[in-house]
Amino acid sequence: MPLAEDLKNLALKAGFVSVGIATPQMLQGLPHGWVSTVINLQTPEEALSTVKSVILLGYYAWDKSFNLAVDASYLVSREMYTPNVPKERYQLYDEILKNKAWTIVDYLTKKGYESSLSLSIPLKTAAVRCGLGSQGKNTLLITPNYGPRIRLIAVLTTAELEVDEPFQDDLCGDCGKCITTCPTKALEPYQITINRCLTYAAEEPHAQAVPDDVRKLEKKLIQRPTSNSYIECSTCIDVCPIGKPLRSK
Ligand code: B12
């Protein structure tokens, strides 16, 4: 069995629902560098200089609780905020993704290929080039079967693998539910104003760039199971009709 097929079967067995493969050359021209204050996006080559293939893995996050984020209290709690100390945050879905993707890294490493996980390449646009789905009006990756209820991670490897075709269709069509339902009006078709997104507001409790009306809605709408944790907003995912489960809450 070709290695790509072998890896796809392994990924499905590990619990991923969609898998696609591209070369780093196929991922040229994607977003790069700092996205607001959130992340410094890397190219695959910056993440692993010897990379020959990029494997994009999609995990079905079917429950709101996957959006749980926990801030390390001694670093960043609202009461004890210390400027200039790097923040540390655990997002439940990131931890699940990393855990599952290690199966693929481990398998490739044992076969002699250098391999690593990446959450710092631009995963949505990479996933489109790997054939997983289209980029939606909410800016998220929309897959035909699960809509945007997919979380993404990449495995970078020196193995040369058979690649997939980029996804060509626009799955949103005339729908604009995510745009009209976003509580802070952060979305325009295919674009987001980051400092109006409730997730950004919750992640950055001290950012001056977040307008007052958004801070008020953050206090009202963001659920906080404990003082150091919150459930990230997922309204623009929940309302998407594509792949919507019968019972979505
Ligand atoms: C930075 C970031 C954020 C920031 C900024 C969001 C953003 N859209 O950039 C904030 C904190 C606001 C955020 C919020 C959320 N995020 Co976030 N975030 C990221 C991160 C780290 C990078 C995203 C990125 O590349 N931004 C850079 C901008 C420039 O790229 P872009 O959004 O693709 O913008 C392009 C489009 O606008 C496009 N475009 C412009 N016009 C047009 C027109 C057409 C027709 C088309 C097709 C495209 C197009 O051009 C732009 C540049 O290429 C990724 C993880 C990763 N490493 O990729 C997760 C990620 C995108 N987030 C994710 C999620 C789930 C969320 C939230 C739902 C929160 C949550 N509950 O987890 C919200 C959703 C908000 C939203 N609708 O975007 C998931 C999305 C999964 C999916 N199905 O796509 C990711 C992939 C994390 C993961 N590991 O799964 N996020």
Distance (Å, whole) CA 224 – CA 70: 10
**pLDDT tens-digit map of 83-117:** 555 567 899 999 999 999 999 999 999 999 999 99
Is residue 146 within 8 Å of 110, Cβ to Cβ?
no
How is the chain split into domains, by residue range?
Answer: 3-63+89-157
The answer, as to whether pTM is greater than 0.85, is yes
Report strand pairing: 229-231 vs 68-71. Answer: antiparallel
Q: In what order do the strands lie in the sheet with 53-60?
A: 18-22, 53-60, 150-157, 115-118
Question: Ligand 1 center to residue 5 CA distance, Å?
Answer: 29
Pick from 27, 38, 92, 193 the residue to mutate for probing ligand 1's pocket: most ligand atoms within 8 Å of its CB.
38
Distance (Å, whole) CA 1 – CA 113: 17
Question: Ligand 1 center to residue 192 CA distance, Å?
Answer: 8
* pLDDT attached to residue 228: 85
Is residue 93 within 8 Å of 82, Cβ to Cβ?
no
**pLDDT tens-digit map of 203-237:** 998 899 999 999 999 999 999 999 889 999 999 99
* pLDDT attached to residue 207: 92
**pLDDT tens-digit map of 132-158:** 999 999 999 999 999 999 999 999 999
**pLDDT tens-digit map of 3-54:** 999 999 999 999 999 999 999 999 999 999 999 989 999 999 999 999 999 9
* Ligand 1 atom showing the smallest separation from residue 41 Cα: 57
* pLDDT attached to residue 247: 54
40-48 long-range contacts, Cβ below 8 Å, gap at least 24?
Answer: 40/120, 41/120, 41/121, 41/122, 42/118, 42/120, 42/121, 43/121, 44/118, 44/121, 44/154, 44/156, 47/116, 47/118, 47/120, 47/121, 47/156, 48/114, 48/115, 48/116, 48/118, 48/156, 48/157, 48/158
* pLDDT attached to residue 249: 44
Question: Ligand 1 center to residue 191 CA distance, Å?
Answer: 9
- Structural tokens at position 247: 């019972």
Q: How confident is the model at residue 165 (pLDDT cuts 50, 70, 90)?
A: very high
**pLDDT tens-digit map of 59-70:** 999 899 999 999
CATH architecture of the domain covering 3-63+89-157:
3-Layer(aba) Sandwich (3.40)
Question: Ligand 1 center to residue 159 CA distance, Å?
Answer: 28
Pick from 141, 199, 222 the residue to mutate for probing ligand 1's pocket: most ligand atoms within 8 Å of its CB.
199
Q: Which residues' Cβ are closer than 6 Å to ligand 1?
A: 31, 35, 38-39, 41, 67, 119-120, 122-125, 135, 138-141, 148, 150-153, 190-192, 194, 197, 199-200, 203, 232, 234, 236-237
Residue type, 97: L
Question: Ligand 1 center to residue 55 CA distance, Å?
Answer: 18
* pLDDT attached to residue 244: 86
Q: Is the pLDDT of residue 194 over 80?
A: yes
* pLDDT attached to residue 206: 87
Pick from 46, 95, 138, 140 the residue to mutate for probing ligand 1's pocket: most ligand atoms within 8 Å of its CB.
140
Q: Is the pLDDT of residue 76 over 50?
A: no
What average pLDDT does the chain have? 93
